[in-house]
Structure 1
Amino acid sequence: MQKKFLKNIPFEKVLELKNLVDYAERRVSSKTLVQRGDLSITLFAFDKGEGLSTHSAPGDAMVYVIEGSVRITIGQDTKVVLKEGQTVVMPANIPHALESIEKFKMMLIVVKPQN
């Protein structure tokens, strides 16, 4: 049997990312596709008004908006609004926060240094 590197996703099937994670009322839902020391790929669904408080990550974090829109603060001075199809990279070890403007879904890819 060949080793699989992705999880929680069917192989050899055409999929729409936005259909792989569901909204939950007043919650943030997630589905992890890859989780290892140097890389994580996770799909998220945020209900309107939900978010992630200020935090930092040990790797560069790329947000790709699949559906809806989100307000992201990066560091002290950078504030961006992302809509469907847009992406931004949040540098490693720089505090950032996310706040949903409306229901939104995103793919988060975090690339960390190898140990």
Structure 2
Amino acid sequence: METEIEKSRSFIVVEIIEYVPNAVVIKTIIKKTSGNVSAVSFDSGENLTEKVSPFDTFIQIIEGKAEIWIDDLSQILETGESIIIPAHSRNSIKANERFKMISTIIKSGYD
């Protein structure tokens, strides 16, 4: 079972997750019933298939470059850039080159 990052101890997000050949790796930073924060690494050519989430998702690229699709619109995000994927939007994430990101999902405030 995956555990959260140790609390009250500093860390560098980009260093807590590694690239794995031909894989998408997800490391949980915080997981609560009200939402979660994860660090995610994508090897080149990998992707997350299209989905629809009932919650807003905040994505921040912390290394490399990602292609984010939201309702048939493609956007390229580079290191330091962020985007909010709106709740109920079709979305997918593609790695034309390898990259790392932080994904934050907030589950409160929805009916």
TM-score, normalising length from structure 1?
0.86
Which residue identity lines up with residue 97 of structure 2 in the other structure?
Answer: E
Equivalent-residue separation in structure 1 for 2:31 and 2:13 (angstroms): 18
Pairwise mapping of residues 29-48 of structure 1 onto structure 2 (< 5 A)?
29-48=25-44
Deviation of the 1:14 alpha carbon: 3.1
Pairwise mapping of residues 1-115 of structure 1 onto structure 2 (< 5 A)?
8-76=4-72, 78-113=73-108
Equivalent-residue separation in structure 2 for 1:93 and 1:47 (angstroms): 27
Query: What are structure 1's unaligned runs of at least 5 residues?
Result: 1-6
Equivalent-residue separation in structure 1 for 2:32 and 2:12 (angstroms): 24
Aligned residues: 108
Root-mean-square deviation (CA), in Å? 1.5
Which residue identity lines up with residue 111 of structure 1 in the other structure?
Answer: I
Query: What are structure 2's unaligned runs of at least 5 residues?
Result: none
Q: Deviations over 1:4-49 (max 9, x none)?
A: xxx5323333321110111111001111122222211111010001
Deviation of the 1:112 alpha carbon: 1.6
**Identity across matched positions, percent:** 24
